Amino acid sequence: MAFWNLKWPFKRTSASEQRSASVGHSLTDATGELSKILGLHLDQVRVNATAAMNLSAFFGSVRVMSSLFSTLPVAHLQKKDGRRVEVEGDMLTEVLTLRASRHVNAVDFKKALMANLLVYGNGVARIVKNKYRETEELIVYKFTDVTIIETDDRLYYHFPGGIVCDEEEVIHLKFLTLDGKIGIAPWGFAPKTFKVALSAQEFISKYYQNGTFLGGILTSEANLDETKAKAAKQMWKDSTKQGVQNTGDITVLGNGLKFHEIGSKPVESQMVEFFAKTDVDIYRMMGVPGHMMGDASQNNTWGGTGIESQFMSFINIALMTFIQSFEQEVAYKCIRTDKRWGGST
């Protein structure tokens, strides 16, 4: 069957090619002792969908993949005179290309389905059919609003409003699954990677918030108690306030005060650079090349040397499995059995 009307110019990538696209050592492998030194307690970091989406690398990957998936061309095909031709004007074609449901257009439907798949590990949509068993609507749900219960070797999906559907009345896409029934989100498979990234985000935020690069110390030959030390510090801060009116001004230090400027420690600077590269782990996990996310430090020859070649590689490695899964779900569940046997796909 060929649900997606894509005569793919994209070659199937071999296992060796896919492995070569993700060559590199994980930065999370060396973070145990480092986290202790920096006071980052990974065991105290909570990883969930909301926290993961606060990471620009993960958010960007979800945005790129869901947007691309939602805009790929779609067609309902039917066998005629020994070849497959597009079926025009039927209800399923309209649902897939124009209006998925009363409130959601086709592009937003596919984008939401894919976003749920990437963020929660599962993308679920309820199939609404008319009395002729023809698909009228596809309604996507936030996966956290859906409860899946297995009874008598059948899956039943409980939706808001007391709606219960059999598994054959639901489109269900999974990110990665170990049992074929329920998907697991990226952050569920590799929580340590996301914990390191979230800890890094907090570390870097505090690092710059504290003005590490602008720091310095005041010394005095006199003995200063806590009150006098605070007063000297405030006097220095007041005399060095930024602003056009203070440009070129002179600061006078009393009480034998001397200011010693200190830069960032080399180790701290290296930590900022090190943690900034945790994005690479997330790109690798999602199958998204760094240069597509605006990361100029990543090799722009990923998957090939030309734009078209890189795009083809990205489709094959990151999206093809979801495309084919969607094809099979729609072909099996949204097309009547008699039409499917008659060559409609």
Q: What is the pLDDT of residues 107-158, one digit of tens each?
A: 999 999 999 999 999 999 999 999 999 999 999 999 999 999 999 999 999 9
Mean pLDDT taken over the chain:
79
Going by C-beta distance under 8 Å and a sequence separation of 6 or more, which residues neighbour residue 47? 187, 191, 194, 195, 198
pTM score, whole prediction: 0.73
Is 64 found in the same domain as 189?
yes
Token readout for 240 is 């060095």
The answer to whether the beta carbons of residues 316 and 324 sit under 8 Å apart is no
CA 172 to each of CA 122, 140, 158, 276: distance values in angstroms, whole numbers, following the listed order: 7, 10, 13, 35
Question: Which residues, 6+ apart, have CB-to-CB distance to 341 below 8 Å?
Answer: none
Amino acid of residue 98: L
Tell whether 30 is covered by a domain.
yes
Cα separation, 115 vs 121, whole angstroms: 9
**Same domain as 254, residue 112:** no
33 pLDDT more than 90: no
Q: Confirm whether 203 is domain-assigned.
A: no
Residue % of the chain over a pLDDT of 90: 42
In which band, very low, low, confident or very high, does the pLDDT at 3 lie, cut at 50, 70 and 90?
Answer: very low
Burial of 258 (0-12, 13-18, 19+ CB in 10 A): exposed
Average the pLDDT over each of 63-72, 119-128, 253-262, 276-285 and give the range with the smallest value: 253-262
41, pLDDT greater than 80: no
Q: Which two tokens stand for residue 177?
A: 């699954």
**Hey, how many other C-beta atoms are within 10 angstroms of the C-beta on 244?**
5
pLDDT by residue (tens digit) across 167-205?
999 999 999 999 999 999 999 998 888 988 888 787 777
| Band of residue 307 on the pLDDT scale cut at 50, 70, 90 | confident
Residues of the domain holding 317: 15-198+271-341
The answer to whether position 1 is within a domain reads no
> Is residue 280 located within the same domain as residue 180?
yes
**In the predicted model, is pLDDT for residue 244 greater than 80?**
no
Q: Assess if residue 127 is contained within a domain.
A: yes
Residue 102 sits in the same domain as residue 188: yes
Q: How confident is the model at residue 17 (pLDDT cuts 50, 70, 90)?
A: very low
Q: Where are the alpha helices (DSSP H) in the chain?
A: 15-21, 32-38, 49-53, 56-71, 91-97, 106-120, 186-189, 191-209, 226-239, 266-276, 278-286, 307-314, 320-333, 337-341
Confidence of residue 82 (pLDDT cuts 50, 70, 90): confident
- Between 214 and 221, whose confidence is greater? 221
Indicate whether 68 pLDDT > 90: yes
My answer on whether 116 and 228 are in the same domain is no
Same domain for 230 and 175, yes or no, is no
What is the rounded distance in angstroms from the CA atom of residue 82 to the CA atom of residue 21? 39
β-strand partners of 245: none
Same domain, 237 and 110: no
pLDDT band at 277 (very low <50, low <70, confident <90, very high): confident
Mean pLDDT throughout 85-96? 87
Say what the pLDDT of residue 19 is: 40
Q: Choose the weakest-confidence range: 121-135, 156-170, 259-273, 298-312.
A: 259-273
Which residues does 189 contact at the CB level (< 8 Å), separation at least 6? 176
Q: What are the two backbone dihedrals, phi and then psi, of residue 97, each rounded to the nearest 5 degrees?
A: -115, -15
CB atoms within 10 A of CB 167: 14
Predicted confidence band at 57 (pLDDT cuts at 50, 70, 90)? Answer: very high
Q: Which of 9-23, 43-57, 129-143, 262-276 has the highest mean pLDDT?
A: 129-143
Q: Are residues 178 and 137 in the same domain?
A: yes
CA–CA separation, 107 and 99 (whole Å): 8
pLDDT of residue 225: 77
Question: Do 115 and 241 sit in the same domain of this protein?
Answer: no
